[in-house]
Structure 1
Amino acid sequence: MTYLSKISFTRTAGALLPVFSLPGSYGIGVLGKEARAFADFLLASGIHCWQVLPMVHAGAGNSPYSGISAFAGDPLYIDPETLYEKSLITKEELEDACYPLSSYSVDYDWLLKHKPLLLKKAYSRLTTSMKEDIEHFKEENKYWLNDYALFMTIQEKGESIISKAFLSKEKEEALINDEVFSYYCFLQYEFYSQWQNLKNYCNSLGIGLIGDLPFYVSHDSSDVWANPHLFMLNKDFEAIGIAGTPPDYFSEKGQCWGNPLYDWNAMKGEGYDWWIHRIAFHVKYNDALRIDHFRGFERYWYISAENRDARLGRWEEGPGLSIFHAFEKKYGPAPIIAEDLGTVDERLFAFLKESGFPGMKVLQFAFDGNTSNLHLPHTYNNHSVAYTGTHDNNTTLGWVWEIDESSRNQALEYCNIPSSHWGDGGSQSPVCRGLLRTLYQSVSSIAIAPVQDSCGYGEDTRINIPGKATGNWNFRFTEENFKQIDQEYLLKLSNIFGRNNAFKFEK
């Protein structure tokens, strides 16, 4: 058994907030002044980690875990005000980009209709020096950007080329010189320029950005389109086996995600280059990286594409830590947090230990009457990252209302929460304060809570309901919401429990 370098993080506190949930005037949170204001808010609250959800170009259902590309950033997050400051759009066009209705949720239909019009106007006004910068970006990122821009260009032109394997050299060269191709390269240049600027600002405050890497990619993605040999597909490029999970906490019937499974033998034959490029790219733009469904490297749940019933799936062997050994040999240790939730067993525990990566603890999973439950804080070690809940959980207030009375009583007693008024909401919520305090005083290196738990918000503000196809990924905060948060309490917790420290990754 060959161990990787052990990864550790400074003891600190964090907040989970998707970028789409930021306040602002443009229909969705963007990478502009509101994002920097949130970083200022975190600093004043004694918090030095900002965890986001995947920032990839979202596909079906607007899910950040089902991207059009494993690399490309979502153009919806591009800040119009930055475009205005670059003289790429006019003041009138900036005003027209404002969303006219409620700002409490993301209206994806409106955005997908209106934002491309704005972005194409900005593209049409690029200066010579801007174009030179974009060319440099294209050259640095051609290993993924060419495929993404080709894929999007073909889609926008309404052409039907089922795989890059059917794209002739002549046709490919013609598309690469097309204005539509150049437009999609511009979008990625602008997205990553704005993201890098935000990262630099956060880092100047001692705040680290924790990105999120989905394990699988969408079948309808540039990755599968350009590299079908790396996935379990038949001769018609349809999936043979698809991804999901067996029955667990989130679903009694298991989950059938629908993503095509990797052909690990084919990936091994190429030295796992696709994965190594992917991890290196996202590590570059984040200070740490949470890898979703980490156990998929150890073994994965194979579901037949014919029946799509997760209960009838089976475990298959994954590549183990081969990818990470190859990565570490080339780049050094990676600042990774392993999502090790769901179905757990001794094999997973041994695999996580061998990886050297910290795993996750979630308070909402702790109170089942078992005093040895691994999510109870008295069982933690400091080589872990602890959460009140994740993006797939209910909010803390929503959760305490939905659990059974026995679990609720255990949680109230464990966290020393008065039994009276336990269901009250708001920033003074006894349940939210009690779980936050319990989280902060744990020995886990990083303690992270969704911002909803600092607000004391209920179920109507949760981010995602696993297994539900629509209505997710759209909750947004307003500036007034942030003003209602008791920053002094958060700062007090950070100071009392030694978490008011700048983010730092140690090898």
Structure 2
Amino acid sequence: MTLQTHTSLLNQRQAGVLLHISSLPSNFYTGDLGGESYRFIDFLHEIGASVWQTLPINVPHADNSPYQCLSAHAGNPDFISLESLQSQGLLTKEDCTGLITSKLALLDKAYINFCQLSENIPEHNKLHQEFVRFSKKQASWLDDFSLFLALRHHFNEAGWNHWPELYKNRDKKTLKEARVQLAHEIAVIKFTQFVFFSQWIALKKYATEKNVALFGDIPIFVAYDSADVWAHSDLFKLNADKSVSVVAGVPPDYFSETGQRWGNPHYNWDAMQRDGFSWWISRMATQSELFDIVRIDHFRGLEAAWEIPATEETAINGEWVLAPGDALLAAIKQALPEINLVAEDLGIITTEVDALRQKYHLPGMKILQFAFSGASDNPYLPENISENSVVYTGTHDNDTTLSWYNCLDDYQRENLHAYLTATHAEGYELNMPNDLIEMALASKALLAIIPMQDVLQLNGQHRMNTPGTITGNWHWRFSWQQLAQAQKDSIRIAISHTGR
């Protein structure tokens, strides 16, 4: 069985599982692209799921959030499989169990071995040629990123805005000298990205063979401390000294009296539009190479985004500023006609945002944990969900469904119970989280995604992220011991019975 064509990928009933790469079982401190990622694809294939959704896979800052990254293109080196490097003869088992504990140090050693072997062994010479081809193909972002990261290490991980002026302002002579001085470090960074992309493309090929599509995610904005803002400062709203003039966020709402101040710089859309949105098209081309489907986080920001003066400590005193989302999406679709996009359209969405999403036939998101407010027009109730949607029990930002249910107030719990009683046969007994999983799978939405925590029926100690908090997030990992045969059978039967 082969993977569906791009044009049909979002046009048929399918089921998938949400699990970030870091959450895979591993002998190291985070999951990676080794054997466990292939085993997870086998698991998806076994239960009849044909989509694997991850979070962004780029290089995070120290807080490990995949939504604030050092590059819009570069892959996270933490996800590189050391076992795969051993199988290629670039590392030994002793290397990975010895005194060198840093993965970056091991990648440096793998690069040195790679250079030595390339000179003597034809097989590795072929690998070297692939590395050269990769470096040329990705040069538009890789050259800047590798220099950026090498300089960042050189300046003790300081953000680029704290570098000496000549480096901060990209003086040509200074950067030319830096490329010579840091040649080894730059080469290792490029090699690391070559390894990441090679391992990812191999995994994608295996997923395709198992009829599993890879579903990625990008934050709409990029981090200020990133290679993108340093290398393309003209494409962002910055002051003359390259400090941020306005930052992104969302206004005060039901959940927060002061709104959310994210701190990302806003795009200089006029500058982006003048060159045909080339930065965005390049970004999406990379994502399209790595994924079969891509979700745009905070999609509403493509229609209008909340701009907050950088001097403000909260998001209260911001304003909505229009964005050229129509022109941008038209340019992306023209350059990448086969790309499959999903719009994260949660929160307060205007008719203009809906119209933009519908013009490009992008599925929106529906979260069942939001459905039981008691209002019959609640857009998250199953009967109000359209086919052109991706339905979830919850997302990485939600509590697990079991914990969500246990924490419901009496009113919402009664609404949920009444709904389940009305939609089930007489003698029905409550079964969480399976009831919500089956509700998602039975909905009209063409794609249903279940977080792995809900598949495993886990409590709130296993949630991935709690918005508004800065510690204890992004670290959850599962173990195969948590997956009972009964759970596997339950979701396999539910997927089959709901025509997915």
Give the TM-score, by structure 2 length.
0.91
Letter of the structure 2 residue corresponding to residue 310 of structure 1: A
Residues 483/337 of structure 1: CA separation in 2 closer, same or farther (3 Å cut): same
Aligned to 1:143: 140
Where does residue 37 of structure 2 map in the other structure?
A: 35
Q: Does structure 1 residue 237 correspond to structure 2 residue 237?
A: no
Q: State percent identity of aligned pairs.
A: 37
Deviations 1:258-290 (A, max 9, x none): 111111111111211100111111011101001
Q: 1:223 to 1:97 in 2, by over 3 A?
A: farther
Higher mean C-alpha deviation, range 86-95 or range 152-161: 152-161
The match for 2:56 among 51, 54, 65 is 54
Contact 1:255/1:310, CA 8 A, preserved across alignment: yes
Task: Give the letter aligned to residue 443 of structure 2.
Answer: S
Distance 1:21 1:455, change over 3 A: same
From 172, 176, 182, the equivalent of 1:173 is: 176
Q: Distance in 2 between matches of 1:211 and 1:332?
A: 17
Q: Structure 1 residues 351, 310: CA separation in 2 closer, same or farther (over 3 Å shift)?
A: same
Counterpart CA distance in 1 for 2:494 and 2:164 is 56
Aligned-pair CA distance for 1:355: 2.3
SS at match of 1:133: helix
CA apart distance, 1:9:
2.9
Other-structure match for 1:327: 332
Corresponding residue for 2:160? none
8 A Cα contact 1:97 1:118, kept in partner: no
Match of 1:255 among 252, 255, 260: 260
Residue of structure 1 in register with 2:121 after alignment: none
Counterparts of 1:282 and 1:447, CA distance in 2: 21
* Structure 1 unaligned spans of 5+: 99-112, 423-429, 500-507
Does residue 13 (structure 1) correspond to residue 22 (structure 2)? The answer is no
Which residue of 1 is the match for residue 286 of structure 2?
A: 281
Decide whether the 8 Å contact of 1:243 with 1:301 is kept in 2: yes
1:118 lines up with 2:118 in the alignment = no
5+ long unaligned stretches in structure 2: 1-6, 119-124, 157-162
Deviation at 1:251, TM superposition (A): 3.5
The answer as to whether partners of 1:290 and 1:337 remain within 8 angstroms in 2 is: yes
Query: Which stretch of structure 1 is more off in the superposition, 58-67 or 160-169?
Result: 160-169
Report how far residue 406 of structure 1 moved. Answer: 0.7
- The alignment yields a C-alpha RMSD, in angstroms, of 2.1
Equivalent position of 1:497 in the other structure: 498
Greater shift, 302-311 or 193-202, is seen at 302-311
The one-letter code sitting in structure 2 at the alignment partner of 1:117 is: A
| Contact 1:176 1:182 survives alignment (8 Å) | no
Assess if the C-alpha contact under 8 Å between 2:373 and 2:412 holds in 1.
yes
Structure 1, 26-35 or 312-321: larger mean CA deviation: 312-321
Counterpart Cα distance in 2 of 1:153 and 1:463: 31
Is residue 161–residue 167 contact of structure 1 (8 Å, CA) maintained in 2? no
The question of 1:133 aligning with 2:130 is answered yes
- Alpha-carbon distance in structure 2 between the residues aligned to 1:340 and 1:351: 11
Aligned pair partner of 2:318 in 308, 313, 320: 313
Alignment of 1:291 with 2:293, yes or no, is no
Higher relative contact order (CA 8 A, sep 6+): 1
Separation in 2, partners of 1:248, 1:11: 34
Query: Is 1:204 aligned to residue 209 of structure 2?
Result: yes
Contact 2:167 2:174 (8 Å CA) reproduced: no
Shift of 1:483: 4.0
Letter of the structure 2 residue corresponding to residue 172 of structure 1: L
The equivalences for 1:433-448 within 5 A come to 433-448=434-449
| Cα shift at 1:131 | 2.9
Q: 3-state SS of the aligned residue for 1:62? A: coil
| Aligned mates of 2:456, 2:468 — CA distance in 1 | 26
Which residue in the other structure is 1:69 paired with? 71
Q: 1:264 aligns with which of 260, 264, 269?
A: 269
Q: What residue identity is the alignment partner of 1:63? A: S
The amino acid across from 2:131 in the alignment is I
Amino acid at match of 1:454: V
Q: 1:391 and 2:396 equivalent?
A: yes
Give the Å deviation of 1:165. 6.7
- Counterpart contact for 1:415–1:438, Cα < 8 Å: no
Provide the rounded CA distance (Å) in 2 between the counterparts of 1:62 and 1:162.
28
Deviations 1:296-326 (A, max 9, x none): 0000011111013112221110112211211
Matched-pair contact (CA < 8 Å) for 2:387–2:446: yes
Cα distance per residue 1:119-167 (max 9 Å; x no partner): 1111111132233221111100011101100101111222824686733
Contact 1:57 1:69 in 2 (8 A): yes
Q: Structure 1-normalised TM-score?
A: 0.89
The corresponding residue for 1:358 is 363
For 1:434, give the aligned amino acid.
D
